Structure 1
Amino acid sequence: MQRRNFLKNAAGVTVAAAVLPLSCKSADGVIEKGIEVGVEGASNNGGEDQWHQLGTGQKVPHPVRKKIEEFDVVVIGAGMAGIPAAVASARNGAKTVLVNDRPVLGGNASSEIRVTVNGVNRLSTGLAERETGIVEELLLENRLYNAQESYPMWDHVVYDYVTREPNLTVMVNTSAMDAEMDGDKIISARCWQSTTETEFIFKADVFIDCSGDGLMAAKAGALYRTGREGKVEFNEKYAPDEADGWQMGASILMQGRDYGRPMPYTPPSFMIPYNGDNTKHRKINNFIDGYWWVELGSDFDIIDVQDVNRHKLMGYAHGVWNYIKNSGKFPESENFAIDWIGSFPGRRESRRFIGDHVLSEKDLTEHRHFDDAIGYGGWSLDEHNPGGIEDLSNEPSFFHQKFKTVYQVPFRSLYSKNISNLMFAGRNASLTHIALSSTRIQGTCALMGQAVGTAATICVKKGITPREVAKNHIKELQEQLMRDDVYIPKVKANDPKDLAKKASHIFGSSTQSGNANNLINGISRDIDGEINHWQSDGLNAQLQMEWDTPIKISRIEIKCDTNLHKNITMRKQPLSEWLKKSHIDTVPPELMKNLDVEVRVGGTWKKVGEKTNNIARLIKFNFDQEKITALRINLKETYGHPNAKLFEVRCYES
C-alpha cells in the first residue's frame, strides 16, 4: 500500500490514510499490521518502527494497540440524540457504550459549535411545548449548575451527567469507521481512538447510529438517501418539482462582547468580503448571538466538501464581522469585539437512513396518528436556503408553515429497513428533506434518542429486533417512555403495574386549580387547553392517596411542574423583555425543591423518602417494601412559586 493513498470505503466516503489505525484494512482487503501510513519521512523498517524506550533501555516495536470489548448496546454519536439514547439504554438495564468522535459531548450543542438546544420553542399559539425526559433533566441541571450560561461549563455539566451513569461507558475522541457484518446483522463496530492510538472493536446485540452523518451505519450497508425529494413521491407541497441533490448547509457561529472601550478589528487573510448592502434578507440585529445564516450547503455530497466549506465559512464569518466593524454602518459596534468564533461547522443535513416508514411533510402538517408514536415535534417547517451565504438573492430560511400543536413521530422511522439490529435517531432518521426541516431540531432529536435507547433494552432482554418491537411490543415501549417522562401526543399512560390507579380516594389539603384525580389520568402535562394537574393553594401542602385494600409498594414516582410552556435553554445574551415572555433564565420557579413522602402502615404514618434541593421534574423515591393503606406527599418548598403543582403520581410494588 502506498503512503499518502486515499482509500475509498464501501459507503463511497474518501478517507485520508493518515488517520487510519495502525492495524487497518487496505482497499484490497489485506490486513496490514504495524505500518505507520501516510506520514512524511516515517521509517517503515519491516513494520517495526523502533521506539527507544528509556525506561527499560530497550528498543521496542511501535505498539499496535487493539482492544475488543463486548456490550449489549453501542451508541455512535454523543449529540442531543445520542446522549438520551445511551442514558436511556443504560438506565433500563443494558450495558452500553457511547462513542463520540469529538473531545466534548453535545454535538451541535457543545462549546465547539454552540447551537441553542431548541425544541418546540414556539407554536403558532405563542406557547412553547417543551420536551421532557432526559433532555429536560440536562437543561434543568444546567440552569442550576451553570447560572453564568458558559458553553465550556455546559460541556462539563453534560459530561458529569453522562459519565455518572453506572451502566454506561463513554469514549471520546473515538471515531466509528466500519462495521463487521453477518448477513443483515451488525456484529461489531470498528472504532479508532486518536488520543490513545488504539483500535477498538465493540461487539453488541444492538447498534444505534446517532452521529448525524452515519458513517458506521452506511458502512454496514444501511439504505439511505440524500438531497430533496420531488413533489410527487410523497405528495409534498413544499418540495421542489423534481428531486435534486440540494442539502441544507452547515454554519459557523460567533459571539461578540462589549469590552467597554473602542475595539478595532483587522480581518485575517482568509476573510471573504461580505456586503450586507446587497441583501435585505440577512439582518444583523445584535453583535452577541452570531449569525446562523453564515451557512453553506451542497448540491451533491456535503460530507465530501465539509472541510472546503469549513475554510470558506470561517472566511465568511470574518467577512460579516468586518462589514459590521469597518463598513461604517454600525457605529454602535465600536466597543464590540469577537469573544469566540467557531472553527467546526454545525451541519443540518447529510444522510437520511431508510426505515419501515419515511416521515414526510403531510405526516406532520396533517397531524397523522401513528400507533407506534414515541414522541413529538412542532418546530416550523424551516427549510434553509441550500445555497446559504452564497445565495444572497433568496431568504436564508423558508419558514414554510408553523404548527398550532405538536405532531407525532413514529418508531418505524427510527430503525433500518434492511439492517436487522440497527437503529438511528436525530437528523439521520428516516425522513424526507421537508420533514427534516422540522424534526432536525435538537429537542425533537433528543426524544427520538430516548426512544431508541429504551427500545434497545427491550431488544436485548427479549432477544428480538427493533422491527419486532414495532410489531409486537410497541405498547411496552410507549409505557416505559411515558413512565420516564416522555410525552406522546394522544397516548394515555396505562401501566398495569401502577398501583396509584387503584387508589380509592385522592385529595389535596387545598386546591387552587385542577383536580387531584388528574394525577392518575395518564397525561402528565397541560396541553391543547386541557388541564391535567392538581395545584395547591399555598405551600406546606399535602397530597394524599387512600386504598380500601392494603397494597405493597417500594417505589413512588412524581411528576411536578417546570412550566413546560416556557423555554429554559441557554441564550447567548441577557433576555430582552420580549423574550422573558417565552423564556426562563433561572431554575423554573414552579419546580419542587423540597418535599417528603410518608406511608401509612398499620394505622401509623412513616416517612420513607425525602428530597432536598431537587432538580428534576420526575422525582423518584425508592425504599424497602411496605404494606400500606395510604401515602402522603408533603410539598414544602418550590424554587420561588407560591403553590405546588403536580401532574402525576405512580406507585409500584418493585
Structure 2
Amino acid sequence: MNRRDMFKSSAVAASMVPIIGKASEDSGNPEERTTDNWFQVGTGQRGLPDRKETLTFDVAVLGGGIAGICAAVSAARNGAKTVLVQDRPVLGGNASSEMRVHLNGVTHLKPDNRAERETGVIEELLLHNRFNNKQESWPVWDHLLYDFVISEPNLELILNTQATEAVMNGSTIVAAKCWQLTTETQITIRAAQFIDCSGDGLLAATAGALYRSGREGKKEFGERYAPDEPDGWQMGATLLMHSEDMGKPMPFQAPSWAIPYEAEKSHPKRKFKGFQNGIWWMEVGSDGDIIGEQEEIRHKLMCYAYGVWDYIKNSGKVPEAENHALTWVQSLPGKRESRRFIGDYILHEGDLLNHTHFEDAVGYGGWSLDEHNPGGIENLKEPPSYFHEHFHKVYEIPYRSLYSKNITNLSFAGRNISQTHIALSSTRLMATCATMGMAVGTAAALCIQKKCNPRDIATRHINELQEQLLRDDAFIPHRPANDSRDLARKADLIAASSSVSGDAKLLTDGWSRDFEGVEHGWESHGLPAEVLLEWEEPVTLSRVEIKCDTNVKRNIMMRKDSMVSKNFWNDVPVELLKSLDVEARVNGQWVSVGSNDDNRKRLIKFNFDPIRTSGIRINLKETYGAVNAKLFEVRCYET
C-alpha cells in the first residue's frame, strides 16, 4: 500500500476530523526530572530544574502572525487581559523576515487594480512601519511588530512557544499546555477565551474542534471551480529567494541535491519576471497529510528552489541574471493551507462571487480566487495558479465562520477559519485575515464583559460587536455605524470652512470612507481649516474621535520592489493629517481640550476631563504633504 492509499484508509482522512485532548493539566512532560544530573559549580550543589509555570488570562491568542497580532491587540484594547503566544522568535508569520511575503489584502480590485485597504489595527501596523522603517528592512519590520505588541497595555507576549495540547472540561477549553523551546519550560495557560490564529491549529485540533482538509467536490456547495469529486489536495508552501546585482558576473554552481528545473515541460505562465525578489510558484502541495509531511516538503522545496536558480543562472535563458547572486534564501516554508475548522457557517465560493450580504459581517476581502495548482512545481504542465475570478468589489466575511461549531470558547482568524478550499484561495491573504483577527479579538473581549461565548455574540450581541469594530476603525461593507452613544450624531449644527468636496454633515453619516462611488467625507479648501459641531443644549463630553484620510485606495504595505504608482506608495501617505487641535466652547469661551502636532494614525483620539460644552471646534493645521485635509468621521462621547 502506498503512502497516499494508506492515508486515505486512515481515520485522519475523514472530512471532519476531531482530535480530542483528554489530558488533565498535570499530564504532558514528566512531573519530576529525576534523572537530571545538574551540578551548579557556583553553589557546589546538585539540583533539579523547576521549569513549569501556570499563567492566567482572560483571552489567549495562539499564533503571532498578522491575524494573531490584530486579535490580541484588539482584545487587550477592549479591556481583556490577553496573552499572545508565538512559536517563532519573531512576529508576523508569512510577513516576517523569515518569509517576506507581501502583506496583501484587497489590493487590486478590477478594472483599475485599486485597493480597498483594510483599516483598524492592520493600518496602524503599516503606518508604524512607514514612519519608522523608511529603509524597508525586513528585520526592522520584525522588531516594529514586536514594539507594537509589547507597547500595548494589558497584553503579554510569549515567544518561541507553541501550544501543543488543550486541557478540556467537556466541550470547553480550560487551559493550553505550551512548550517554550528556548527555556525548556512547560507553560500552562488558563483563559476564558481561546483564539487559534496559528494557521495549522494544533491547539484547536487537540481540543476536538471539527475540521476538514482537502478540496470539496462541486456538489457539496455548488462550487463551479471545485473538482468534480472531493480529494485531499491542499495548496502548497513556498520558499522565496532574494538576489542582488553585484556589478560583475557572479557564477553559481548548484548543490548536488538540487532538482533540475525542466523548463521545456513547464506551463508558459511560469515566468521569471522579478526573479530577484523571489518566485512564488516554487511550491509543493500535498494530497495527504500536509502537516505530517512538512519536513519532506521543506527538503523538496530546497531542492527545487536551487534547481530553479541554477536554471536562471546557467541556462542562458535569463541573461539579466548574469551579475546576480543570492543574498537570502527562505528556510521556513510559507504555508497556504492545512486545517480548516468548522464553524456555524462554512464560507464558500458562491458567497464570494455573489457578494452575499451577511447580517453578522465583521470582515471583508477581495483578492482574486487564486487557487494554486494542486501539485505546485511537481505539476509543471498546469499554470502555477488558476486565478479563476477577479473581483470588482469586496465580499463580506461572517462572524459565524470565525468560531468553532463544537468547542464553546474557541475562535479562529486566518487561513484556518470555517470555509471551503475555493473560498480559502481568496480569504487567505494576510490583510484579509487581519480583519478577521480584529473581529475575534474584539468579540473575545465582549465575551469576557458579557460572561458568554462566541455563539452568544453571534445570536445576541452581534450589533454591539459590529459597532465596536466600526468605532475602532474597522470597515464592514454595507454596514454603517449607528452608535447611540455618539453625541456628534445629535449635534444641531455641523459646519466647516470652505470645501473642495463633500459636506461636513457627512462626518456623522456612519461611513468612514468613500465607498463604491459614493462620497462620505469632507475635504477642506486648503489649510488651515476647521470643523464645527454645536448643540442647542450643552452636553457633557470627555472624548472626541476623528477619522482622517490615508487614501485607502492605495496600498502602503512594504514590498521588495518599493513600488510607487497610483496604486502603491512607499512612504507615509501624504493625505494623513499631521497637526490639529480641538477646542470646546465652555460658558461662551473656546478652551483647548487637546492637540496633536505629530499624529501618526488615521483614528485620532482626544481624551480629557469631562466638560459641559455647547460646541466643539476641530482646527486642522497640516498634513504630510497634501494641500487639503479630508475627514471621514467625527464622534463625541461623554465617557
Mapped partners of 1:11, 1:617: distance in 2: 50
Q: Deviations over 1:437-490 (max 9, x none)?
A: 110010110000000000001111111010000000000000000000011111
How far did residue 586 of structure 1 move?
Answer: 0.8
Alignment of 1:88-237 (within 5 A): 88-126=74-112, 127-237=114-224
Q: Which runs of 5+ in 2 are unaligned?
A: 1-9, 14-21
Give the CA RMSD over aligned residues.
1.7
* DSSP 3-state at the match of 1:143: helix
Partner of 2:260: 273
How far did residue 512 of structure 1 move?
Answer: 0.4
How far did residue 276 of structure 1 move?
Answer: 2.6
Partner of 1:425: 413
Mapped partners of 2:532, 2:167: distance in 1: 55
Partner of 1:21: none
CA distance 1:303–1:338, shift in 2 (3 Å)? same
Partner of 2:55: 69
Partner of 2:354: 366
Mapped partners of 2:286, 2:154: distance in 1: 40
* DSSP 3-state at the match of 1:624: strand
**Which sits farther off after the overlay, 273-282 or 191-200?**
273-282
Kindly indicate whether the alpha-carbon contact (under 8 Å) linking 1:247 and 1:386 is maintained by their aligned counterparts in 2. Answer: yes
Tell me if 1:650 matches 2:628. Answer: no
Mapped partners of 2:275, 2:217: distance in 1: 39
Mapped partners of 2:50, 2:304: distance in 1: 42
Counterpart selection for 2:456 from 463, 468, 472: 468
Partner of 1:517: 505
Q: Deviations over 1:115-139 (max 9, x none)?
A: 1100000111322100001011000
Partner of 1:20: none
Kindly indicate whether the alpha-carbon contact (under 8 Å) linking 1:595 and 1:636 is maintained by their aligned counterparts in 2. Answer: yes
Counterpart selection for 1:33 from 31, 34, 43: 31
Kindly indicate whether the alpha-carbon contact (under 8 Å) linking 2:543 and 2:637 is maintained by their aligned counterparts in 1. Answer: yes
Letter in 2 for 1:539: L
How far did residue 12 of structure 1 move?
Answer: 6.5
Tell me if 1:246 matches 2:233. Answer: yes
Mapped partners of 1:600, 1:329: distance in 2: 72
How far did residue 30 of structure 1 move?
Answer: 8.3
Partner of 1:625: 610
Mapped partners of 1:589, 1:543: distance in 2: 20
Q: Deviations over 1:221-256 (max 9, x none)?
A: 000000000011111111111000000010011111
Partner of 1:550: 538
Mapped partners of 1:25, 1:608: distance in 2: 55
Letter in 2 for 1:176: A
**Which sits farther off after the overlay, 266-275 or 590-599?**
266-275
Partner of 2:251: 264
How far did residue 102 of structure 1 move?
Answer: 0.4
Letter in 2 for 1:190: K
Kindly indicate whether the alpha-carbon contact (under 8 Å) linking 2:547 and 2:602 is maintained by their aligned counterparts in 1. Answer: yes
Alignment of 1:436-475 (within 5 A): 436-475=424-463
CA distance 1:182–1:259, shift in 2 (3 Å)? same
How far did residue 375 of structure 1 move?
Answer: 1.3
Letter in 2 for 1:33: E
Partner of 1:350: 338
How far did residue 612 of structure 1 move?
Answer: 1.9
Kindly indicate whether the alpha-carbon contact (under 8 Å) linking 2:59 and 2:195 is maintained by their aligned counterparts in 1. Answer: yes
* DSSP 3-state at the match of 2:237: strand
Mapped partners of 2:373, 2:81: distance in 1: 42
* Corresponding pairs, count: 619
Mapped partners of 1:286, 1:426: distance in 2: 28
Partner of 1:562: 550
CA distance 1:175–1:31, shift in 2 (3 Å)? closer
How far did residue 58 of structure 1 move?
Answer: 1.3
Partner of 1:82: 68
Kindly indicate whether the alpha-carbon contact (under 8 Å) linking 1:74 and 1:208 is maintained by their aligned counterparts in 2. Answer: yes
Mapped partners of 1:265, 1:638: distance in 2: 49
Counterpart selection for 1:321 from 280, 293, 309: 309
How far did residue 527 of structure 1 move?
Answer: 1.1
Kindly indicate whether the alpha-carbon contact (under 8 Å) linking 1:288 and 1:572 is maintained by their aligned counterparts in 2. Answer: no
Relative to the length of structure 1, the TM-score reads 0.93
Partner of 2:6: none
How far did residue 55 of structure 1 move?
Answer: 1.2
How far did residue 206 of structure 1 move?
Answer: 0.4
Tell me if 1:301 matches 2:289. Answer: yes
How far did residue 25 of structure 1 move?
Answer: 7.9
Mapped partners of 2:111, 2:123: distance in 1: 22
Counterpart selection for 1:375 from 351, 363, 370: 363
Partner of 1:337: 325
Letter in 1 for 2:35: E
Kindly indicate whether the alpha-carbon contact (under 8 Å) linking 1:33 and 1:64 is maintained by their aligned counterparts in 2. Answer: no
Mapped partners of 2:534, 2:94: distance in 1: 48
Percentage of matched positions with identical amino acids: 60
Letter in 2 for 1:151: W
Kindly indicate whether the alpha-carbon contact (under 8 Å) linking 1:98 and 1:168 is maintained by their aligned counterparts in 2. Answer: yes
Kindly indicate whether the alpha-carbon contact (under 8 Å) linking 1:287 and 1:336 is maintained by their aligned counterparts in 2. Answer: no
Q: Deviations over 1:169-189 (max 9, x none)?
A: 000000100000000100000
How far did residue 376 of structure 1 move?
Answer: 0.7
Mapped partners of 2:97, 2:254: distance in 1: 23
Counterpart selection for 2:299 from 276, 296, 311: 311
Kindly indicate whether the alpha-carbon contact (under 8 Å) linking 2:29 and 2:186 is maintained by their aligned counterparts in 1. Answer: no
How far did residue 275 of structure 1 move?
Answer: 2.9
CA distance 1:215–1:478, shift in 2 (3 Å)? same
How far did residue 581 of structure 1 move?
Answer: 2.2
Tell me if 1:595 matches 2:580. Answer: yes
Letter in 2 for 1:573: D
Mapped partners of 2:441, 2:135: distance in 1: 31
Tell me if 1:485 matches 2:483. Answer: no
Q: Deviations over 1:367-423 (max 9, x none)?
A: 111110101111111101120011110000011111111111000000100000000
Tell me if 1:405 matches 2:393. Answer: yes
Relative to the length of structure 2, the TM-score reads 0.95
Partner of 1:7: none
Mapped partners of 1:257, 1:234: distance in 2: 46
How far did residue 261 of structure 1 move?
Answer: 2.1
Kindly indicate whether the alpha-carbon contact (under 8 Å) linking 1:248 and 1:383 is maintained by their aligned counterparts in 2. Answer: yes
Kindly indicate whether the alpha-carbon contact (under 8 Å) linking 1:11 and 1:218 is maintained by their aligned counterparts in 2. Answer: no
CA distance 1:30–1:332, shift in 2 (3 Å)? closer
Mapped partners of 2:136, 2:405: distance in 1: 41
How far did residue 11 of structure 1 move?
Answer: 10
Kindly indicate whether the alpha-carbon contact (under 8 Å) linking 2:23 and 2:166 is maintained by their aligned counterparts in 1. Answer: no
Mapped partners of 2:262, 2:576: distance in 1: 47
CA distance 1:11–1:88, shift in 2 (3 Å)? farther
How far did residue 281 of structure 1 move?
Answer: 2.1
How far did residue 320 of structure 1 move?
Answer: 1.2
Mapped partners of 1:551, 1:397: distance in 2: 58
How far did residue 317 of structure 1 move?
Answer: 1.2
Q: Deviations over 1:530-563 (max 9, x none)?
A: 0000000101111111111101111110000011
